[in-house]
Amino acid sequence: KQEVTQIPAALSVPEGENLVLNCSFTDSAIYNLQWFRQDPGKGLTSLLLIQSSQREQTSGRLNASLDKSSGRSTLYIAASQPGDSATYLCAASPTLFTGANSKLTFGKGITLSVRP
Amino acid sequence: DTGVSQDPRHKITKRGQNVTFRCDPISEHNRLYWYRQTLGQGPEFLTYFQNEAQLEKSRLLSDRFSAERPKGSFSTLEIQRTEQGDSAMYLCASSLDRVQETQYFGPGTRLLVL
CA distances (Å), origin B43, targets A78, A108, B74, B89, B93: 27, 8, 21, 9, 11
DSSP letter at B77?
Answer: E
Give the pLDDT of residue A102: 73
d(CA A116, CA A14) in angstroms, rounded, equals 6
Model confidence pLDDT, tens digit, residues A87-108: 999 999 876 555 555 789 999 9
pLDDT at A62 over 60: yes
* Chain B residues with CB-CB distance to A32 below 8 A: 100
Taking alpha carbons only, the member of B113, B110, B80 closest to residue B7 is B110
Choose, out of B24, B50, B57, B105, the residue to mutate when testing the contact with A (most A CBs < 10 Å): B105
Q: Where are the alpha helices (DSSP H) in A7-107?
A: none
Model confidence pLDDT, tens digit, residues B24-57: 999 989 999 999 999 999 999 999 999 999 988 8
Which residue is closest to B108 within chain A, CA to CA?
A: A43
How confident is the prediction for chain A on average, in pLDDT? 91
pLDDT band (50, 70, 90) for residue A72: very high
CA–CA min distance B15, chain A (Å): 23
Q: Which residues of chain B, if any, have pLDDT below 70?
A: 1, 99-100
Mean pLDDT of A108-114: 97
Report helix, strand or coil for A8.
coil
Give the pLDDT of residue A53: 85
Q: Touching check for B78 and chain A: CB below 8 Å?
A: no
First CA to last CA across chain B, in angstroms?
A: 36
